[in-house]
Each structure stands twice: as structure tokens, then as C-alpha cells.
Structure 1
């Protein structure tokens, strides 16, 4: 279930209640708005730039990303998919905070430390973060997202030592539903140049180049 947690995080969580790519686009220089928080185009570009520099020199991360069976293998190889994948995670980090509040679960630093240690045992937290498409300085953010899913699922009755347990599978479904419902209730706007955010799939859908063009001046 832990591997699936990472996959859900990056496949890692554009329904009717979410303003993504329809109506007025975010103002110039904005990659996405999540509630009152703004993710700028500059922040996103610098994040992906740092990731690329670090990823090239990490053979473990390269091996993880090259393995189709690895849950970290979610992002494509072109520039736009790198940006889209990183932006997906930055959005999901913020949605997960609201999910924890909705579930009444406190994500303590101890929980984050435990998730970080678990990531380390599964190939190295820094390398796994690189394999998902974010630089190492975002490792604790990824661990917090994983810790959130684990804590919420446990509150739903999951036994994360047994992925086949029906209670664990039901808890996973409830997590997906809660994540989707929470994201639907938030003000999430994605710059159309990157696509549209789909909380049901935990990702940003690629923009249809036949119908959309990048926002001028961005």
C-alpha cells in the first residue's frame, strides 16, 4: 500500500467544482492558484530546472524512473510533461493539507519523519523524490503527502501491512473520494498552457494543442 501511496501522490490527487482551464485564466506569471496560494511560473520553472540538474547525477533516481513497474515512473521525457508533473505535485501537496483537516487528522512532524524513513528504506528518499520529478529539497514535502495518506487511511480502518485486506482497500477508496471531494471544493485554477487539473486522477491532464494556446506573455 505504501507504493500505491507514492503512486497516488504523483499520478501523483477538472471536475465541475474546480476552475481549471475554463473561464478567465490566472494572471500572467501564474502557473496555478490553489485557494489563496499562488504558484508562479518562475517558481515552477526553477523547480524543474533544479530537478533536472540533480536528476542527471543520480543513477538510483534514473533507474527508478526507467523502470515501468516503479510507482515513481509517472512523468514523460519532454519539457512540458516535466513542468506538468511538477505542478501536479505542488498542487497535490496543498490539497493534501486540506484533506487532513477534513479527516480531522493531525500530521505531526513525527509522522512525516516516519514516512521519510520509509522512503529511505525503499531506495532513498532523495532519489525517490527525484524520480517523481521534484528536486531533493522537496523530499520532506513528498514525505508529508505520503504521511497524510497513511494517516487518513488508518483513520478509515486500513491495515497498511496487508494490502489485500478488504478494510485497507475500502480505506483506499475513501481516501480517493475524500481527496477528489476536497479538491472539488477548493479554488484551483491552472494556467491553460499546462492543461487542466483532474483530482480524480491526481494529475494535470495534458493540454489539447488543437484547442488551446499558451497564455500570451507567460
Structure 2
């Protein structure tokens, strides 16, 4: 009897994993295959996400040629893929919120901000290294990141607040709702209220739990 029960349990687990397998590789909506996320009418493909992660890893490797030190850097940034996707989505949310508020950022403003930061850091190379280490931003993406920083600052100013206040984050939450963000379950889910990525239980774990509950004694 025990052998039959264990066999039935194994079959239930196998069926649950098999049924959930498509959810592990597809986006939350089958209409968006190959997408890491869908933000409004824009797709962030898995390939685009992987390219961004590769850019950071290559920059980290160039900055830390020693093998053991590089391994330590990789270990400290083990959530790089999820963090990168979070940033890619949040950039779009922030851009939408800024657009809705009539906020724009000029190239000259980006150059001015970069010049000031380079002076503080001790030079262009030092600034790129600092942004790579602190924020996981590859040198090639530094200007894009500074533009986002300026958008955030100007959006907060337009709202009469700052980026730490609830009013600012409410604007991002409103933009998140308008964009109807859909993350691939392998990367978690998008919390509209927090305007951020959150970890979500794997669908197949829920299937297994349900199968175990239904298993006869």
C-alpha cells in the first residue's frame, strides 16, 4: 500500500511539473513569447535583457582582471539579471510619469550633470567605475542612466516634492497602472503600488502543493 501511495505521489508531482513547464519559459501571457517583460506596447526581450547583463559582466571583468576577485564580484551581484530587468522596466515607468507631467530632459542637461559628477569622482574613468560598482551600470549606459536620474529629479520638482516622498512614488504607481506591466514569471512580478519587481512563487510549486493536498491518505 505504501509503495502504491509513493508511486501515486510521484505521478502527481511529474504531472504538475509537466503542466507548469510552459509557464517557466513563456511570459505570463502566451501572446508575448520570448519576452522578459511587456511594458505598455513595448517588449523587453530575453535577448535584450541578457545583452544588458553581458555588458555589465564584461565591464566588471575589464575592471577586475584577477580571477578570484572577479568571482567575488559575481557572487556579490548574483541577482544582476533580476536587478537589470527591474531597472529596464522602471526606466520606462519613470519616462511615462515624466511625460505625463510634461517633464523633459535635454542632452545639455545630461552633459552638465555628467561633467559635475566627473569632477567630483576625479575623472570620467573614475565615474564610470563608481557607477558600475554601486549601481551595476555599464559605462556605455552611463548617459542613459543619468538621463533617468534627471527625469526623476525634475518629476519630483514638478510635483513639489522629492524622490523619497509618497507623492513621487504615487506618480510612478499611476504610470505603472497605465502601462499594464507583465513580467515573465521566471523574473518575478511587477508590484504596481511599489513600482518595483517582486519575487513571485514559482507556478509549479503551487501545482505541487495542490497535488499533495489532494493526495489520498
Runs of 5+ unmatched residues, structure 1: 1-20, 67-74, 159-167, 213-218
Q: Which residue of 1 aligns with 2:129?
A: 127
Q: Which stretches in structure 2 are left out of the alignment for 5+ residues? A: 1-25, 208-217
| Paired residues of 1:48 and 1:83 also in contact (CA < 8 A) | yes
Aligned length: 168
How has the CA–CA distance of structure 1 residues 111 and 25 changed in structure 2, closer, same or farther, with 3 Å as cutoff? farther
User: Partner of 1:92: helix, strand, or coil?
Assistant: helix
Counterparts in 2 of 1:26 and 1:194: CA distance versus 1, 3 Å? farther
Q: CA deviation at 1:22?
A: 9.2
Structural RMSD (CA) = 3.1
- What is the TM-score normalised by the length of structure 1? 0.65
Match of 2:98 in 1: 100
The TM-score normalised by the length of structure 2 is 0.65
Contact 1:115–1:143 (CA under 8 A) maintained in structure 2 = yes
Which residue of 2 is the match for residue 10 of structure 1? none
More relative contact order, 1 or 2 (CA 8 Å, 6+ apart) = 1
Aligned counterparts, 1:135-174, within 5 A: 135-158=138-161, 168=162, 172-174=165-167
Name which one, 1 or 2, has greater alpha-carbon Rg: 2
State the match for 1:55 in structure 2: 60
**Alignment-derived partner of residue 192 in structure 1:** 185
C-alpha offsets along residues 2-55 of structure 1, whole Å, 9 cap, x if unaligned?
xxxxxxxxxxxxxxxxxxx99625633211111121111111112111211211
CA distance in 1 between partners of 2:41 and 2:76 (Å): 29
How far apart are the structure 1 equivalents of 2:52 and 2:189? 20
